[in-house]
């Protein structure tokens, strides 16, 4: 299992590093994981980047003059699913499905917008 890895932006941007359970391929994050907990319950979710505008994201986060530098570093440390080769994508999908509880009850459906 991968140990958590902080980046210089981790104190400002929660998803800037790599946490336990996240998927990294060739040194770049492909799948991120997040959770929120309170006395009322917990919410966990994950995502794989299909597309992201890091310049816009860092602008929305209000990083000011540091935004461009953060955008470059975040872009260099992540991979879009579409950037993976077909073999890598198939391996990623198989690995994720294999790790789901009761993987026989899940199906993947590709939708087109």
pLDDT at 105: 64
Sheet-wide strand order for 23-25: 23-25, 28-38, 41-48
CA angle 100, 1, 69 (to 5 degrees): 100
Domain ranges for the chain: 23-101
Q: What Cα–Cα distance (Å) separates residue 70 from each residue in 17, 20, 40, 59?
A: 12, 22, 35, 10
What is the mean pLDDT of each successive set of 10 residues along the chain, which is 113 residues long? 77 85 85 86 82 92 91 91 78 73 64 60
C-beta separation of 25 from 79 below 8 A: yes
């Amino acid at each position: 299992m991968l140990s958590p890895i902080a980046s210089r932006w981790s104190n400002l941007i929660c998803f800037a590093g790599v946490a336990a359970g996240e998927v990294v391929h060739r040194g770049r994050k492909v799948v991120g994981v997040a959770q929120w907990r309170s006395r009322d319950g917990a919410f966990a979710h994950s995502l794989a980047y299909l597309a992201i505008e890091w310049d816009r994201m860092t602008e929305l986060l209000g990083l000011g003059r540091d935004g461009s530098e953060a955008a470059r570093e975040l872009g260099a440390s992540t991979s879009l699913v579409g950037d993976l080769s077909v073999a890598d994508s198939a391996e990623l999908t198989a690995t994720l499905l294999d790790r789901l509880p009761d993987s026989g009850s899940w199906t993947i459906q590709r939708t087109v917008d």
